[in-house]
Structure 1
Amino acid sequence: MDAGVAGVVAGVAGMVGALGGAAVGGLAAVRGARIGAEKTSAALLKQTQDQAEIEHRHWAREHRRQACSQLMEHYAGMLQVLAGAQEALWREETPTAEQRQTMESLLVAMAPVSRQLDLWGPPELQDAVGELMARIRGITYLLREWAHAVETSAADMATHRNRYLHFDTESAYNAFVATAGEVLRSPA
Structure 2
Amino acid sequence: MDGGWAAVIAGASGAGGAALAAWATARAMIKQARLQANDRHEHWLREQRQEACLNLLAATDEVSDKLEPIIAAVITGPTVEDHAAWQEMNAAIRASSRTARRVSLLGPPALQQRAVDLHKAALSTVNVYRTPSESPSNLLVVRHAEAQEEWEAAEEAFRAIANQTIGCGALD
TM-score by length of 2: 0.87
Question: Equivalent residues in 2 for 1:11-160 (5 A)?
Answer: 16-93=1-78, 96-145=82-131, 148-150=132-134, 158-160=138-140
Gaps of 5+ in 2: none
> Any conservation in 1 of the 2:128–2:144 contact (CA below 8 Å)?
yes
Query: Is 1:169 aligned with 2:151?
Result: yes
2:146 aligned partner, one-letter code: H
Cα offset for 1:62? 1.1
Cα offset for 1:124? 1.6
| Partner Cα distance (2:146, 2:69) in 1 | 17
Computing the radius of gyration from Cα coordinates, the structure with the larger value is: 1
| Partner Cα distance (1:83, 1:175) in 2 | 24
Gaps of 5+ in 1: 1-15
Cα offset for 1:87? 2.1
TM-score by length of 1: 0.80
Segment of structure 1 superposing worse, 32-41 or 91-100? 91-100
- Give runs of ≥4 in structure 1 deviating > 4 Å: none
| Partner Cα distance (2:77, 2:145) in 1 | 15
1:65 aligned partner, one-letter code: Q
Cα offset for 1:48? 0.4
1:126 aligned partner, one-letter code: Q
2:126 aligned partner, one-letter code: T
Per-residue displacement from partner, 1:81-104 (whole Å, max 9, x unpaired)?
112211221223367222211110
Q: 2:133 is paired with a residue of what secondary structure?
A: helix
| Partner Cα distance (2:160, 2:55) in 1 | 16
Cα offset for 1:38? 1.0
Cα offset for 1:78? 1.0
Q: 1:169 is paired with a residue of what secondary structure?
A: helix
> Any conservation in 1 of the 2:59–2:99 contact (CA below 8 Å)?
no
* Larger relative contact order, structure 1 or 2 (CA cutoff 8 Å, min sep 6): 2
1:178 aligned partner, one-letter code: A
